[in-house]
Amino acid sequence: MTLFDGERLPYADGAFDVVLFADVLHHTPHAEGLLREARRVARKAIVIKDHCADGFLAWPTLRFMDRVGNTRFGVALPHLYLSWREWQSLFARLGVTIEATERRLGLYPWPLSWMFERSLHFVARLAPVADTK
């Protein structure tokens, strides 16, 4: 087991082909720093599955979903959801491009999909922007 201090990934530059964050970045105030670290250790891609605070009642819906899904496990719930526009801005600051994205994941059957699907989730595959130097 390798210990992680919550800020710096304890691995060498380019140590992995791909880094995956699945429903974790909205739980930390250090999302940008963690993505920077992922960019540092990932040779080929970063894959993110997370939430988007877009649309009518997105915030209260995401807060409800987080409480139901995570409270019993003691997971921190700071509710740090970004809009898709904010995610895109973050990706640009990090020097990554979106290679592929999906905003409708089909996670819930009808009628739950009407309330919990919408555009509240996304999966994105990010790739480092090639240096032009």
Average pLDDT per consecutive 10 residues, the chain (133 residues; last block may be shorter): 86 96 94 96 97 94 95 94 97 96 91 88 91 51
Stated pTM of the model? 0.90
Q: Which residues contact 29 (CB under 8 A, 6 or more apart)?
A: 78, 80
Q: Please, where are the H alpha helices in 1-133?
A: 31-41, 58-70, 84-94, 112-116
Nearest by Cα to 129 from 39, 58, 57, 24: 39
pLDDT recorded at residue 129? 77
The domains located in the chain, with CATH, are: 16-128 (3.40.50.150)
pLDDT recorded at residue 22? 97
Q: Which residues contact 57 (CB under 8 A, 6 or more apart)?
A: none
